[in-house]
Amino acid sequence: MDELDRNILGLLGADARMSVATLARRLKVARSTIQARLERLETGGIIAGYTLKLGEAAREGRLRASVLLTIEPRAQAGILSRLKAIPEVERVHSTSGRFDLLLQVAATNTTVLDGVLDQIGALTGVKSSESLIHLSTRIDRAV
């Protein structure tokens, strides 16, 4: 990736709906150059897709939590397959350090969230869990 690729990604990160023509105009290059770069970034796996980023107004009414799991050795595959069946589990990251997995969970209310946390903690192979309820987003640079 060169500077032009990074600039394209930066502009699309701010507005994924930006047209090829607008990208070309802002970056002062030909439309065909932008189109070729986008195709290369897509086929190379740099751009995995174009999506919508919800604002705070859309996230109102949803409780979010990070759940830190310590799991039994060799239990990860089974736990991951069971986590996929829980719709409130949005993301799962493997980690280094004290915890093995970091989950991002979202629920409509505290009762649902409590049930989901109990369900996760009861999974076979989970040794311990720790939950952190998100109160507000102070910085969000996710692309």
pLDDT digits (tens, 9 = 90+) for 64-102: 999 999 999 999 999 999 999 999 999 999 999 999 999
Segments in the chain forming alpha helices (H): 3-14, 20-27, 31-43, 56-59, 76-84, 110-121
Give the angle 33-39-45 at the CA atoms, nearest 5°.
Answer: 135
State the distance between the two ends of the chain, measured CA to CA, in whole angstroms. Answer: 17
User: Which backbone phi and psi does 58 adopt, to 5 degrees?
Assistant: -75, -25
Give the angle 85-57-133 at the CA atoms, nearest 5°.
Answer: 50
Give the pLDDT band (50/70/90) at residue 56.
Answer: low
- pLDDT of 143 over the 60 cut: no
Q: Going from the N-terminus, what domains does the chain have, and what CATH number goes with each?
A: 3-43 (1.10.10.10), 56-133 (3.30.70.920)
